[in-house]
Structure 1
Amino acid sequence: MKTFSDFGIDISGKSGVEVKTTCPQCSPSRKKKNYPCLNVNTEQGLFNCWHCGWSGTLKGGEWQKPEIRKVYSRPVFATPTQVPDGTVAWFKTRGIDAAVVERNGITKGSIYFPQVEEERDCIMFPYFRGEEVVNIKYRSKDKHFRMAAGAERILYGINDINPDVLVWVEGEIDKLSVEMAGLKSCVSVPDGAPAADSKSYSNKFDFLTEKALEAVKLHIIAVDSDEPGVRLQEELVRRLGREKCLIVVWPKDCKDANEVLLKHGAEILADCIGNARALPIEGTYSVDDIIEAIFNDYEYGPERGVSTSWAEMDETYRVMTGEWTLVTGIPGHGKSEWLDALALNLANHYGWNFGIFSPENQPLKYHVEKMAEKIVGKPFMEGFTDRMSFKEMSESLKFINDHFHFMLPDYPTVDGLLEISQQLVLRYGIRGLIIDPWNEINPARDGNVTETDYISQALTKIRTFARRNQVHVWLVAHPTKLQKDKTTGAYPVPTPYDVSGSAHWRNKADNCITVYRDVVQTGSPVQVHVQKVRKKTNGKVGMVEFVYDHICGRYQPYKKSVLPNTYNMHHRKKEAA
């Protein structure tokens, strides 16, 4: 059998089952050449690079080549020598001159539209990257749209990006309208704004990995003023960074750039963009900054967090982005299992993406297998109940891969984890971050900083990250050693003040939850104690009981009629065997 050195993998000087080292495939070409991005399981002979995807086994060899990327097709497109007269005339009705149409390589053609199941004449908007046409947007006369099949979704107008300032719109016509106002540095998102009822649109922002965007100093967000446009604006600001963004406010009688061009002219359009307003300076606000939100609260009621998808918890705890929740409990009482179940609920019902730092749930495949069991409702391995099928396993793994991103740095610090999480916000649009547990984070503090001060500073950084990026953070922290009740032998329910290190845990958290189980009494339910909720619209102090299914890790609301549960059934079968 081959050794790791046969694959160029150097693990010399490292011991243990799970070790990390540099990747021979991608590390030499990376900025951080010495960063250990390759996970190696010395016991099973497995290796996997989380950065480039190079993976394999000592026995089977490489089973995924390095730097594998999706293969895109390239549409056939002939740059027109002259724009057809009919096309020029149509653009004239939209206030756009022939010179702008010609510069952007727009022409006329025909293609099959699946919406109407027939081929129709259309306008063709080529998406250039350099000299190459990467994609084409087709628009029929009756406003049916499609893009080239199998082509890469990129920004419209990449070649025009100026690193000093970049205008963002949500349609090709709007990009051309901005050019009519004298501003060429403008891009349009390829698929428009996310629909008002879409729950998962994080993967629609892959265009943010475009290299040319990294150098842009200022982003002017000039998208539509309707509900989908507002969602697009919020997501762009969240990912690009609010400190680098300005927001355009359109005249009341207009919702986008082209409408301003047609109704008010190129000069007014240029003024709207030139007068883009800054977002409030972080930490300072005026009533004008929030007046619309206040009016909305008055008319429709204050904003609430989303449901945990356990209806029984809606009155005590709802999850709001921009907040953080302390989760504590005695080791072995199910904090991590309950958090995984909650995250899967939010991913399934609302399309949330997550970053997870959970070093105690290692090896990673064990953690993923447990999550798959929760999704399918069946065990991963053979046992006394039917195991999940290969198809069920594959579908659950795809769901986990689409919504969860695991962080396993060699030397985890608060700053390091938040830096990685910031990248996950940009690339994958994560809405949730789980740090489980606190004691696995290395305390990067010098001798002059007390533990209390360090915890205070760290929690402030976490809270700032949550609010700035509109991410909900769950932070798991263990309580200090508790004394058993002398009569019953049971431990008391921990409180946030029992968490080791500082009262800041309770004081700085937006929400505090304790997961507790009476291990003395057989068959007792899992109790989720909500001990603090900062915003009354998101819950109140209270307790909800669950039955934990030990076979597949699911949590169901506790009802005496459902006991004995599948756990007890499993053990009865085992005893009978």
Structure 2
Amino acid sequence: RKPKNQKLKCASYDWKRGLGTCHNCNTTFQLHTYKRKGVSEKEYIRPGNHNATAITDKVAVWFKTRGISKKTLNECSVSEGTEYMPQTSKIEKVIKFNYLMGNDLINIKYRDGRKNFKLFKGAEKVFYNINSIIGYNSCVIVEGEMDALSFHEAGIPNVLSVPNGATLNSNNLDYLDNCIDYFDDKEKVILAVDNDEAGQALQQELIRRLGAEVCFIIDFNDCKDANEYLLKYGNKRLSELIEKAKAVPLENVTTFKDIEEEVTDFVQHGFKPGYQVGLQNFDEIFSTYTGQFITVTGIPSSGKSDFVDQMVVGYNINYKWKTAFASPENAPTYLHAHKLMRKVWQGMPTPGDINTNQWKKVAEHINDNFFFIDMERYTLESVLRKGAELVKRKGIKCLVIDPFNKIRDVDCKTEDVNRYTMEYLTKIEIFAKKFDVLVFIVAHPTKMYRDKEGKIEEPTMYNIKGGGEWYDASYHGLLVHRDYENKTVKAKVLKVKFQNLGENGAEANFKWEPKSGCFIPHNQNVSTAEAMPWE
């Protein structure tokens, strides 16, 4: 065996995944067929042996200028060939980074001489070089194939790369969804992403998904990434960064160094804007951050659950956030899914729409972005456990608990309603902060009475059972209230935690569009003359 592998076993076997790794030559071999947990039902296209040839001397010389040997290229399944590149509108000579899982070619990334990139159209997104981490209790995640090759060159074989570079606006890690079970046995995940703003955003999302307790961070100092560090400081110094990787800051302990970037940003730019749902009149009076929870109340049949659906669909459209629902209020699940489908569709699907391209597109979107927690007996503990699992496996950013009174905290033994409420909301807050998730809690008020004019009084947060605790503990509070005479629905801000996020007491009024089930700012014309299919 090679000197660097002397302390390892001759080979490692992962029977669950059907793969083995030889620690002499770093070859991965198939033991048996394997179906990944939670594998998507989507139909992907496999590249096959797509016009691939071995690396020529000319390409090998170019890689050598980047500090990468031909031996590393062969061990990491890099080849070359020709491919049509949309950026130049012609067939180009390309370098091919082959994405293997076991012996199967899952995807290919192409790079031409002008540094244009593309992935194989219709192929599944997975990590590059993922076979390399099998049999190790640790791994390194980088932000590009060249960085993965750099660590391999430096004697760190258990390294893998994300398929797409990070962006500031969205880090929807569908490739992590497809590979999450490869990380189940990892005790240490070293994040070596680019030293820029987009890379740091990717780092935070990986920490959120994989868990801070296993994540460690590398500092490239004056270099942007691993390849630049390799060229400037050499193999030995790059490999030493692994030993110097620092643990993610401990939970519940913060030092100034941990938050210095945030403090600097606040001094330079002030409060960050809150996240908005895309309804102009509502966005003018309310926004929020993640790591918080919103209490939504209203009398029965006022549209609370439907308005929460509207909000999470809006967050999904604006920020690609995924949502999990623990919603016995919305049973049966197929009707809830249909409500979401209408909002995304912006209309009412008909029997003639079934199996059309639009149907398939919307159905796939609902399947990939909204998840329904179905349990025979809901408890707060089981819902939060499942929510934590969905953060890791699917990357959810919103969790809806609807309604509060049907998802009990069975571990809380007190009979005092105020203490019970505070313990319940404290557990919600801990979950929201730990996983950087926005939580909605739909809570019914106690019975409301009619005023002198015969109208039902509007509830406040104090009308919820245990009301004082609801107002004190909640970050935000919203009222959804229906005006039956004017056929409008209003959303009223009962509480907003921070002044920059909204206006206490402010209201936004809507019409409800019956075909799509969408809330439309009330000054827009909405036709309600046409009956629904079930009417």
Aligned partner (choices 141, 147, 151) of residue 174 of structure 1: 147
When residues 122 and 330 of structure 1 are mapped into structure 2, their CA distance, relative to the original with a 3 A threshold, is same
Q: Which amino acid aligns with 1:206?
A: D
How big is the shift at 1:438? 1.0
When residues 496 and 100 of structure 1 are mapped into structure 2, their CA distance, relative to the original with a 3 A threshold, is same
Question: In 1, Cα distance between the equivalents of 2:303 and 2:79?
Answer: 61
Q: Which amino acid aligns with 2:463?
A: D
Q: Which amino acid aligns with 2:249?
A: P
How big is the shift at 1:318? 0.2
Structure 1 counterpart of 2:84: 112
When residues 509 and 127 of structure 1 are mapped into structure 2, their CA distance, relative to the original with a 3 A threshold, is same
Structure 1 counterpart of 2:311: 342
Preserved contact between residue 189 and residue 215 of structure 2 (Cα < 8 Å):
yes
Moved more, 439-448 or 327-336: 439-448
Question: In 1, Cα distance between the equivalents of 2:114 and 2:503?
Answer: 52
Q: Which amino acid aligns with 1:554?
A: C
Question: In 2, Cα distance between the equivalents of 1:545 and 1:167?
Answer: 48
| Unaligned ranges ≥5, structure 1 | 1-28, 30-50, 54-66
Structure 1 counterpart of 2:257: 288
Partner deviation per Cα, 1:120-150 (whole Å, 9 max, x = no partner): 2222333333344443333222212233444
1:269-348 aligned at under 5 Å gives the runs 269-348=238-317
How big is the shift at 1:367? 2.1
How big is the shift at 1:156? 1.8
The reply on whether 1:420 has 2:386 as its aligned counterpart is yes
Q: CA RMSD in A?
A: 3.1
Preserved contact between residue 248 and residue 273 of structure 1 (Cα < 8 Å):
yes
Preserved contact between residue 379 and residue 388 of structure 1 (Cα < 8 Å):
no
Q: Which amino acid aligns with 1:342?
A: M
Preserved contact between residue 445 and residue 454 of structure 1 (Cα < 8 Å):
no
Preserved contact between residue 412 and residue 423 of structure 2 (Cα < 8 Å):
no
Structure 2 counterpart of 1:436: 402
Moved more, 289-298 or 139-148: 139-148
Preserved contact between residue 97 and residue 109 of structure 2 (Cα < 8 Å):
yes
Aligned partner (choices 395, 403, 411) of residue 445 of structure 1: 411
Q: Which amino acid aligns with 1:397?
A: A
Question: In 2, Cα distance between the equivalents of 1:409 and 1:318?
Answer: 31
How big is the shift at 1:166? 1.0
Preserved contact between residue 378 and residue 388 of structure 1 (Cα < 8 Å):
no
The reply on whether 1:517 has 2:482 as its aligned counterpart is yes
When residues 288 and 447 of structure 1 are mapped into structure 2, their CA distance, relative to the original with a 3 A threshold, is closer
Question: In 1, Cα distance between the equivalents of 2:408 and 2:295?
Answer: 18
Structure 1 counterpart of 2:28: none
Partner deviation per Cα, 1:75-125 (whole Å, 9 max, x = no partner): 217998x85322332221111233323332433333332332322222233
- SS of match in other structure, 1:187: strand
Question: In 1, Cα distance between the equivalents of 2:495 and 2:514?
Answer: 31
Partner deviation per Cα, 1:184-218 (whole Å, 9 max, x = no partner): 2111112232x345x57343433433x33210111
Structure 2 counterpart of 1:566: 527
How big is the shift at 1:459? 1.8
Preserved contact between residue 189 and residue 214 of structure 2 (Cα < 8 Å):
yes
How big is the shift at 1:348? 1.9
The reply on whether 1:213 has 2:183 as its aligned counterpart is yes
Preserved contact between residue 297 and residue 479 of structure 2 (Cα < 8 Å):
yes
Question: In 2, Cα distance between the equivalents of 1:52 and 1:141?
Answer: 38
The reply on whether 1:555 has 2:526 as its aligned counterpart is no
Structure 2 counterpart of 1:89: 61
Question: In 1, Cα distance between the equivalents of 2:163 and 2:299?
Answer: 49
Structure 2 counterpart of 1:128: 100
Aligned partner (choices 534, 538, 561) of residue 497 of structure 2: 534
Normalising by structure 1, we get a TM-score of 0.78
Q: % of aligned pairs identical? A: 32
When residues 236 and 389 of structure 1 are mapped into structure 2, their CA distance, relative to the original with a 3 A threshold, is closer
Preserved contact between residue 75 and residue 151 of structure 1 (Cα < 8 Å):
no
Aligned partner (choices 399, 421, 432) of residue 466 of structure 1: 432
| Unaligned ranges ≥5, structure 2 | 1-15, 17-36
Structure 2 counterpart of 1:103: 75
Question: In 1, Cα distance between the equivalents of 2:104 and 2:356?
Answer: 42
Q: Which amino acid aligns with 1:415?
A: E
Partner deviation per Cα, 1:304-360 (whole Å, 9 max, x = no partner): 211221222234310311110000111111111211122222222222211112222
Q: Which amino acid aligns with 2:389?
A: Q
Structure 2 counterpart of 1:60: none
Partner deviation per Cα, 1:485-505 (whole Å, 9 max, x = no partner): 2x1222322121221135322
Question: In 2, Cα distance between the equivalents of 1:89 and 1:206?
Answer: 36
Q: Which amino acid aligns with 2:199?
A: G
Question: In 1, Cα distance between the equivalents of 2:453 and 2:354?
Answer: 40
Structure 2 counterpart of 1:489: 454
How big is the shift at 1:475? 0.5
Structure 1 counterpart of 2:338: 369
Question: In 1, Cα distance between the equivalents of 2:334 and 2:207?
Answer: 35
Q: Which amino acid aligns with 1:494?
A: P
How big is the shift at 1:151? 3.9
When residues 246 and 108 of structure 1 are mapped into structure 2, their CA distance, relative to the original with a 3 A threshold, is same
Aligned partner (choices 471, 475, 481) of residue 506 of structure 1: 471
How big is the shift at 1:426? 2.0
Preserved contact between residue 225 and residue 256 of structure 1 (Cα < 8 Å):
yes
Aligned partner (choices 136, 157, 162) of residue 184 of structure 1: 157
Aligned partner (choices 226, 230, 236) of residue 196 of structure 2: 226
Q: Which amino acid aligns with 2:201?
A: R
Question: In 2, Cα distance between the equivalents of 1:566 and 1:425?
Answer: 40
Partner deviation per Cα, 1:148-182 (whole Å, 9 max, x = no partner): 44443322222221532211101111111112332
Preserved contact between residue 549 and residue 566 of structure 1 (Cα < 8 Å):
no
Question: In 1, Cα distance between the equivalents of 2:272 and 2:343?
Answer: 30
- SS of match in other structure, 1:91: helix
Question: In 2, Cα distance between the equivalents of 1:393 and 1:88?
Answer: 48
Question: In 2, Cα distance between the equivalents of 1:147 and 1:390?
Answer: 27
When residues 531 and 543 of structure 1 are mapped into structure 2, their CA distance, relative to the original with a 3 A threshold, is same
The reply on whether 1:155 has 2:127 as its aligned counterpart is yes
Preserved contact between residue 490 and residue 518 of structure 1 (Cα < 8 Å):
no
How big is the shift at 1:222? 0.4
Q: Which amino acid aligns with 1:89?
A: V
Moved more, 549-558 or 173-182: 549-558
Structure 1 counterpart of 2:420: 454
Preserved contact between residue 46 and residue 123 of structure 2 (Cα < 8 Å):
yes
Preserved contact between residue 79 and residue 105 of structure 1 (Cα < 8 Å):
no
1:388-399 aligned at under 5 Å gives the runs 395-399=361-365
Normalising by structure 2, we get a TM-score of 0.84
When residues 147 and 368 of structure 1 are mapped into structure 2, their CA distance, relative to the original with a 3 A threshold, is closer
Structure 2 counterpart of 1:406: 372
When residues 378 and 89 of structure 1 are mapped into structure 2, their CA distance, relative to the original with a 3 A threshold, is closer
